[in-house]
Chains A and B, each alone.
Chain A
Amino acid sequence: MSPPPESAWYPVARSDDAAFRHVHQAKLLGRELAVWRADDGFVNVWENRCLHRGVRLSVGMNEGMELKCLYHGWRYANRTGGCTYIPAHPADSPARTICNATFPALERYGLVWTCLDGDIDFAPVDLLEGGGSFPLRALPFAAPPELVRRHLPAGDDHAGEDGTPRWFVQPVDADACVVYGVLTDTPAPDRRIAVLRRHARRLEDLRAEVEEIAATLPRPAPLVAAMEQADVPVDIGGPARTVGGTDQRVVVARKWETAAEVVAFELAPIDEPLPTVQPGAHIDVRLPNGSTRQYSLTNPAGDQARYVIAVKREPDSRGGSIHLHDEVHEGDELVISAPRNNFGLRRDAVETTLIAGGIGITPLLSMAETLAADGLPFVLHCFVRSADHLCFSERLDGLGDAVVRHIGLDPAGTAAQIRRALGAHRVARHVYICGPGPMLDAARRVAGEIGWPDEAVHFEYFANPNEIDRSNGFEISLARSGLTLEVPAGQSILEVLRANGVGLISSCEQGACGTCIVDVIDGDPIHHDVFLNATERAAGDRIVTCVSRSASGRLVLDL
C-alpha cells in the first residue's frame, strides 16, 4: 500500500511568491493554504481559514509580524498562528486555545515546501547535488497531477545548454497541479531572463499538450479536504500541538549585561517552537535550584523565534535572580511555562502612554514595539537611576522620538514628570505602568488626582504579582471522582480542574462557545457566560466553567 499523499512534502510556492507583506493563496490536495512571509523572514504555511468565522486568511493583511483577518481584524502571530488580539474585546487577552491550524514550512531550492501531516521529516528528494538552485517559472496545469507527472520530460529530454530541470509537482486537486522546475546551475545574470523564458515556453507547450489530453478524460471528482479540526477543542491533557499550556525546555542562546545589574537572556526552543506571545505577557522560569520566578517577555507580538527576558540582580531576594546571574550560562537549559497575560495591551487607544521604572521596562518594551509596528501613537517614559541602568538601549534607540528617558530623579521629581507625561485624561487614552512598588503607587495616585479613570490606568507590580480578583473563592466537589477542590479568587473552575489533572475541553475560554459546560448537581451558580439562555440560567443545572462562579460556598459538579 502506498503511503497517503498527505505524508509527503510538496512545494506550495516559489520563495518569491511569499513576497514582502503579501499573503499568497495556495492549494494542496484540495486544502487551501495561506502562505506568508513575516518581516523576520519566516515563512508561514497556514490553513487558509480564520478560525473565528471561516474567512480566507489570504484576503487578510500581512502586517509584518502578524496576519490580520479582513473580517473582524483578529490578529494572529507569526510562526504559531496564535491569536494575539481581538478588537471587539480590546481589553481581553485572547485564550491560548485560539490558534489557527499551521503546517510546517521549509524553504529549499528557491521553493516553499510543506507537509499536511506535520510529523513527517523533510526528506529532500535526491536533490541537486553540488550545484546551486535556480527555480524556473512555476506553471499551473488544469490536469490531474498523475497525468502531468507522466508527461514531464525525464532525463535529458529537456536538457539544453543551461542544464536539465528537476521537476516537482504540487498536487492542487484531483484535476489541477502546479509544476516547478529547478536548475542546478544558476545562469549568468545577463542570461537569466532568456533562460527563464526558454523554459517557460517549453513548459507551456507541454501544458497545452497535457491539458488537451486531460480535456478528453472524465473529470475526476474534486478532493474534499476535511474541515480542519484544529479549532474543535482538544483535551488539554493530550498532545495538543497548538494549544500549549505546558512547560517546555529552552536553551540560553545568549546572555548579556543589558544594563548595570541587569542581565538579559535570549531563550531558544529545544523541542517545540515557543508558544504565542501577547504584548505584556510573562512566563514562569523554573530554576535548577527548584524555585520558580516570573519574568515579563520583552518580545513584541509575532516576534517570537526566541524569548527575551531581563533579570535584575536583587541581593535581598530569595536567590532566584542571583542564581540566574551567577549560575546560568549560555548553552544551559531552563524550563519555562507557557506565557500568561494579565497585562494585556489595548490596541484601540487614540494615544497610549507607557511608564517604566527601571527593570519595569520589560513588558512595556514589548508593548512599545508592538504599537510601533502597528503604527499606533504612543510615548514610552523610562525612569532610571542613572544612564547605565537603562536596559535594551539599542532597542529603545530604535523607537526614536517615542522614548523619553528620565534619569536620576528623586521621588518628587518622578511624580512631577509622571504628572506631566499623563496630562489631562481624554477619551480613549490609556496608560500602562510597570516598576517598583513606590513608583507604581505614585503613578496611580497622580493619575487619580488628575482625573484618569481606573479603567484607563493599567499596571503590573513586577515584584508582587498579585492578580486582580475576579470574585471570591468557593469550593467544588466532583461527584463522580469524589475530589473536592478549592477555587480561589482569581482562578476559574476550569483552571482549577486542569491544575488538578481533570482534563476538561475548552475553546474560547470566555463563556461564549459552551464547550466547557458541566452539569451542576447541587449549588447555586452565578452565570457569567453568554452561551446559556434565560431558561437554562434559571434552571441552574449547568455551568460554563471558564467564566462562571458560585453564589453558594460549594458547587457539586457531575465530574
Chain B
Amino acid sequence: MDASDQRCTDPTVLDLWHPLVAVSEMATDNVERTLLLGFEIMYGTDRDGTRFAVRVDEPDEALPVLDRHGYLWTSLGAPPADVFTIPETAEPDRRTLNAASIKVATSAPRAIENFLDMGHFPYVHTDYLGVEPHTEVAEYRVEIENDELWARDCFFYQPMAAASAVGGQLSEYTYRVPHPYCVMLYKSSPTDPSRSDVIGLFVQAMTQDTIRAHNFLSVIDETSSDTVLRRFQQIIFSQDKPILENQFPTRLPLDPRVETPIRADRSAIVYRRWLTELGLAYAVIPAG
C-alpha cells in the first residue's frame, strides 16, 4: 500500500473530516488498515470501546475521530468542530445503514459528479432509475447556500426508483453536497410520499485516483430486509462503477472548457466552480 507519491498536501482537503469505515462493520479489539489521502491509516476500537485512528508513519499521534451517521470519521489536519448534520437520521422510524463500502479506481470528485448526474439514468441504470425514451433532463435549480451545494426541482421519470417501488414514477430529487467529497440525495419515499428517503455517497479518497465509496442509506421502509435495501443500492452503484473506471482523466478537470458541459450538467458546472472557489487541489486538475 505504498502511496507516498499520492500524499495530500492540500490544506483544504487535509482539514476536512473523512469517512473511514462503517461503524457496524468494526470489530472490537481489532485494528484495520486503510488508505486516506495517500497516507496509510490504522483504525480500530480499544477494549474499552474507544474508537481511534492514527497514521502508520506517526503511530504516537492520535488523529481526531468522530462517530457520525454510522461511520467513523477522521481528519489529517485541523477539522471543523463536527461533520455536517443529517437531521432526518434523528427520526425514530427511519432505518439508517451502510449499503456497502466499495473501492473504485476513480477520483473522489468524479464519483460525486456522477452521483449528481441525472442524464445517465436511462443508459447506465436502465429499467431502474431511467429508461429510454425518457431521456430529457428538465431545467432545475442549483445554489450554493451556507457553504453547501443544493440542486432542487430535479424531476426524472424512473421505472423502479427504489427497492420498495412498484411501477414507474416521476421522481423528484433534491441533491445536497455538504462536503467536497460527500453527496446526498433526497427523494420521496415510495412507502410514505410525504417524507424523503436519504441516499448518500461518502467518499474516502484513498489516493487521488482511488476511492472507497461508502453508500449511506436512511429510508422509511418497514418491510424490506436490510439485504434487500442493500441489494438495490449495490446494484445501482455497481452499474456506475464501470463508467467511473472508464473516465479519463481520472481526476476531475475544473476548467469548464475541458469537458463540454450542457445545460443538464448545471449541478456539475456549479460543483466544479465551487471546488475552484474552495481552492481545492487534491484529486482534481485545477483550472489553468
Contact = CB atoms under 8 A, between A and B. Distances in A.
Contacts of A347: 133
Interface stretch (A45-53, A139-147, A292-300): A45-53
A533 B256 CA distance: 14
Nearest to A47: B248
B63 to A, nearest CB: 34
Contact of A59 (B122, B242, B253): B242
Interface stretch (A160-168, A210-218, A245-253, A508-516): A508-516
Interface in B90-127: 118-120, 122-124
Interface stretch (B6-14, B208-216, B266-274): B266-274
Interface string B181-206: 00000000000000000000000000
Nearest to A72: B119
A71 B144 contact: no
Contacts of A513: 256-257, 260-261, 269
Given A347-B133, A348-B136, A51 B259 contact: yes
Interface stretch (A82-90, A309-317, A394-402): A82-90
Contacts of A514: 256-257, 269
Interface in B206-248: 242-243, 246-248
A71 B124 contact: yes
Given A54-B249, A71-B120, A533-B144, A227 B258 contact: yes
Contacts of B120: 71-72
A531 B256 contact: yes
Contacts of A534: 143
Interface string B128-146: 0000111111000011100
Contacts of B134: 348
Given A52-B259, A70-B124, A87 B119 contact: yes
A392 to B, nearest CB: 27
Contact of A348 (B133, B246, B259, B273): B133
Contacts of A55: 243, 246-247
A458 B260 CA distance: 28
Contacts, number: 120
B194 to A, nearest CB: 27
Nearest to B139: A530
Contacts of A511: 263
Contacts of A446: none
A322 to B, nearest CB: 43
A350 B133 contact: yes
B123 A512 contact: no
B265 interface: yes
Contact of B246 (A51, A56, A233): A56
A508 B124 contact: no
Nearest to A531: B269
B256 A54 contact: no
Given A87-B122, A508-B262, A232 B249 contact: no
Contacts of A56: 246-248
Contacts of B255: 232
Contact of B243 (A71, A90, A428): A71
Given A89-B263, A89-B264, A530-B266, A348 B247 contact: no
B260 A231 contact: yes
A54 B259 contact: yes
Given A86-B262, A91-B136, A510-B263, 18 more contacts: A51-B259, A52-B261, A55-B246, A56-B247, A70-B124, A73-B123, A87-B123, A88-B135, A231-B257, A231-B258, A232-B257, A348-B134, A428-B133, A512-B266, A513-B257, A513-B260, A533-B143, A533-B273
Interface of A: 32, 49, 51-56, 59, 70-73, 86-91, 97-98, 227, 231-233, 347-350, 428, 507-508, 510-515, 530-531, 533-534
8 contacts: A55-B243, A71-B243, A88-B262, A231-B257, A350-B133, A508-B260, A511-B263, A513-B261
